[in-house]
Amino acid sequence: MSALETAPGGAVIRLAARQIRRGGVIVAVLIAGMTAIVAATFDQVMADPAAAGSLEALAGNPAIRTLFGEPIGLGTAGGFTVWRVGSVTAVFLGAWAILATTRITRGEEDAGRWNLLLSGRITLPGTVVRHLATVLTVPAATAAGITGVLVASGTPMTGALIHGLGTGLLGLFFAATAALTAQIFPARTPATGTAVAVLGVTLLARMIGDGITALGWLRWLSPFGLMALSGPYVHDRVVPLLILFAAAVAIIVATGLTAARREVGSGLVTASTSRPARLGLLGSVESFAIRRALRPLAGWALGIGAYFLLIGLTAVSVTDFLADNPAMSDAAAQAGFPGLGSIAGFAATLFALLAMPVGGFATVRLGAFVAAETDRRLTSLAAQPIGRARLLGAEIAATAAASALLVTTAGLATWAGVLMMGGDLTLTASLRGVWNSMPIVLLSLGAAVLAVGWVPRWVGVVGGLPAIGGFLLLVIAESVATPAWVRDLSPYAHLAPVPLTGAGWPAIAVMLALASALTATGIAGYRSRDLRS
Amino acid sequence: MTDSALRAVDLTKRYGRLTALDTLNLDVAPGEVFGFLGPNGAGKSTTIRLMLGLARPTAGRAEVFGADAADVARAHRSLAYVPADVALWPQLTGAEILHLHARTGPGTDPSYRDELVERFDLDPSKPARTYSTGNRQKVALIAAFATRAPLLVLDEPTSGLDPLMEQEFRTAVRAARDRGQTVFLSSHQLAEVEAVCDRVGILRAGHLVEVATLSRLRALHRSEVTVSYAGPAPTLTAVPGVEAITENGDGRLRFTLTGSPAAALRCLATADVTALAVREPSLEEMFLDYYGAENGR
Ligand SMILES: Nc1ncnc2c1ncn2[C@@H]1O[C@H](COP(=O)(O)OP(=O)(O)O)[C@@H](O)[C@H]1O
Ligand SMILES: [Mg+2]
**A431-452 per-position pLDDT tens digit:** 999 999 999 999 999 999 999 9
- Contact status, residue A182 vs residue A198, Cβ threshold 8 Å: no
Burial class of B211 by CB neighbour count within 10 A (0 to 12, 13 to 18, 19+): middle
Final residue of a structural domain among A267, A292, A324: A267
- A437 or A265, which is more confident: A437
Query: Which H, E and C letters describe A382-417, residue by residue?
Result: HCCCCCHHHHHHHHHHHHHHHHHHHHHHHHHHHHHH
In a domain, A439, yes or no: yes
A82 and A219 within one domain: yes
pLDDT digits (tens, 9 = 90+) for A506-523: 999 999 999 999 999 999
pLDDT of A1 over the 50 cut:
no
Distance (angstroms) between ligand 1 centre and the Cα of B12 equals: 13
In a domain, A64, yes or no: yes
The amino acid at residue A464 is G
Distance (angstroms) between ligand 1 centre and the Cα of B41 equals: 6
Which residues in chain B have their CB less than 8 angstroms from residue A385's CB? 72-77, 104-106
CA nearest A436: which of A358, A382, A530? A358
Question: Strand, helix or coil at B249?
Answer: coil
CB atoms within 10 A of CB A296: 18
pLDDT of A177 over the 90 cut:
yes
Determine, for residues A380 and B52 on separate chains, whether the beta-carbon distance falls below 8 Å: no
- A117 or A150, which is more confident: A150
**Which protein residue has the closest C-alpha to ligand 1 atom 6?**
B15
In a domain, A276, yes or no: no
Which among B72, B101, B127 has CB closest to A388?
Answer: B72
Nearest-CA distance A273 → chain B (Å): 6
Q: Which of A331-345, A347-361, A485-499 has the lowest mean pLDDT?
A: A331-345
Final residue of a structural domain among A239, A267, A295: A267
What's A232's DSSP letter? Answer: T
A199 and A310 within one domain: no
Segment holding B268, helix H or strand E:
helix B262-269
Residue of B nearest to A113 (CA): B87
Determine, for residues A376 and B87 on separate chains, whether the beta-carbon distance falls below 8 Å: yes
Distance (angstroms) between ligand 2 centre and the Cα of B54 equals: 14
Q: Which of A11-25, A68-82, B178-192 has the lowest mean pLDDT?
A: A68-82
In a domain, A359, yes or no: yes
Segment holding A8, helix H or strand E:
helix A3-46
Q: Please give the pLDDT value at position A526.
A: 97
Distance (angstroms) between ligand 1 centre and the Cα of B4 equals: 26
Residue A115 binned pLDDT confidence (cut-offs 50, 70, 90): confident
**What does the longest C-alpha to C-alpha distance in chain A come to?**
72
A194 and A127 within one domain: yes
Q: Please give the pLDDT value at position B159.
A: 87
Nearest-CA distance A362 → chain B (Å): 20
**Which protein residue has the closest C-alpha to ligand 1 atom 11?**
B20
Q: Please give the pLDDT value at position A83.
A: 86
Q: Please give the pLDDT value at position B92.
A: 94
Segment holding B288, helix H or strand E:
helix B283-291
- A208 or A161, which is more confident: A161
In a domain, A105, yes or no: yes
Determine, for residues A282 and B89 on separate chains, whether the beta-carbon distance falls below 8 Å: no
Residue A99 binned pLDDT confidence (cut-offs 50, 70, 90): very high
Q: Please give the pLDDT value at position A88.
A: 84
- Contact status, residue A255 vs residue A179, Cβ threshold 8 Å: yes
Q: Which of A35-49, A399-413, B223-237 has the lowest mean pLDDT?
A: A35-49
Any idea which architecture B221-295 has in CATH? 2-Layer Sandwich (3.30)
A309 and A242 within one domain: no
ipTM: 0.88
Nearest-CA distance B134 → chain A (Å): 13
Average pLDDT over all residues of chain A: 89
The rounded distance, in Å, linking the Cα atoms of B60 and B204 is: 19
Strands (E), A177-324: none
Residue A360 binned pLDDT confidence (cut-offs 50, 70, 90): very high
Q: Please give the pLDDT value at position A504.
A: 92
Q: Which of A6-10, A91-95, A252-256, A481-485 has the lowest mean pLDDT?
A: A6-10
Backbone φ and ψ for A320, nearest 5 degrees, come out as -60, -45
pLDDT digits (tens, 9 = 90+) for A289-312: 999 999 999 989 998 998 899 888
Residue of A nearest to B73 (CA): A385
A215 and A126 within one domain: yes
Which residues in chain A have their CB less than 8 angstroms from residue B86's CB? 376, 380
Across-strand partners of B200? B35, B212
Total beta-carbon pairs less than 8 A apart between chain A and chain B: 106
Final residue of a structural domain among A267, A300, A318: A267
A286 and A230 within one domain: no
Which residues in chain A have their CB less than 8 angstroms from residue B106's CB? 384-385
Q: What is the pLDDT along chain B (297 residues), one digit of tens a residue?
A: 468 999 999 999 999 999 999 999 999 999 999 999 999 999 999 999 999 999 999 999 999 999 999 999 999 999 999 999 899 998 899 999 999 999 999 999 999 999 999 999 999 999 998 898 999 999 999 999 999 999 999 999 998 899 999 999 999 999 999 999 999 999 988 888 888 999 999 999 999 999 988 777 777 777 888 888 888 888 888 888 888 888 887 888 888 888 888 888 888 888 888 888 888 877 777 777 777 765 444
Determine, for residues A530 and B49 on separate chains, whether the beta-carbon distance falls below 8 Å: yes
The rounded distance, in Å, linking the Cα atoms of B257 and B24 is: 32
Which residues in chain A have their CB less than 8 angstroms from residue B125's CB? 274-277
Domain assignment of residue A334, given as a range? 282-533
Pocket test for ligand 1, best of B12, B18, B36 (most atoms within 8 A of CB): B18
The residues spanned by each domain of chain B are 6-218, 221-295
Distance (angstroms) between ligand 2 centre and the Cα of B144 equals: 18
Determine, for residues A383 and B83 on separate chains, whether the beta-carbon distance falls below 8 Å: yes
- Contact status, residue A225 vs residue A169, Cβ threshold 8 Å: no
**Which protein residue has the closest C-alpha to ligand 1 atom 24?**
B41
Q: How many domains does chain A have?
A: 2
Q: Please give the pLDDT value at position B288.
A: 74
**Which protein residue has the closest C-alpha to ligand 1 atom 25?**
B41
**Which protein residue has the closest C-alpha to ligand 1 atom 10?**
B20
A449 and A347 within one domain: yes
Residue A2 binned pLDDT confidence (cut-offs 50, 70, 90): very low
CATH number of B6-218: 3.40.50.300
- One DSSP character per residue, B88-115 reads --TTSBHHHHHHHHHHHSS-B-HHHHHH
Pocket test for ligand 1, best of B11, B15, B156 (most atoms within 8 A of CB): B15
The amino acid at residue A98 is I
A375 and A249 within one domain: no
Question: Strand, helix or coil at B57?
Answer: coil
Determine, for residues A379 and B124 on separate chains, whether the beta-carbon distance falls below 8 Å: no
Q: Please give the pLDDT value at position A188.
A: 85
Contacts of residue B75, defined as CB under 8 A and 6 or more positions apart, other chains included, come to: A385, B52, B53, B63, B64, B65, B67, B68, B69
A288 and A416 within one domain: yes
Question: Strand, helix or coil at A51?
Answer: helix
A245 and A216 within one domain: yes
Which residues in chain A have their CB less than 8 angstroms from residue B101's CB? 380, 384
Q: Ligand 1: residues within 6 Å at CB? A: B 15, 18, 20, 38, 40-46
What's the pTM value of the predicted model, to 2 decimals?
0.84
Q: Which of A21-35, A166-180, A310-324 has the lowest mean pLDDT?
A: A310-324
- A457 or A4, which is more confident: A457
In a domain, A272, yes or no: no
Contacts of residue B245, defined as CB under 8 A and 6 or more positions apart, other chains included, come to: B236, B237, B253, B254, B255
Which among B56, B76, B126 has CB closest to A530?
Answer: B56
In a domain, A224, yes or no: yes
A201 and A175 within one domain: yes
A478 and A354 within one domain: yes
In a domain, A342, yes or no: yes
Residue A376 binned pLDDT confidence (cut-offs 50, 70, 90): very high
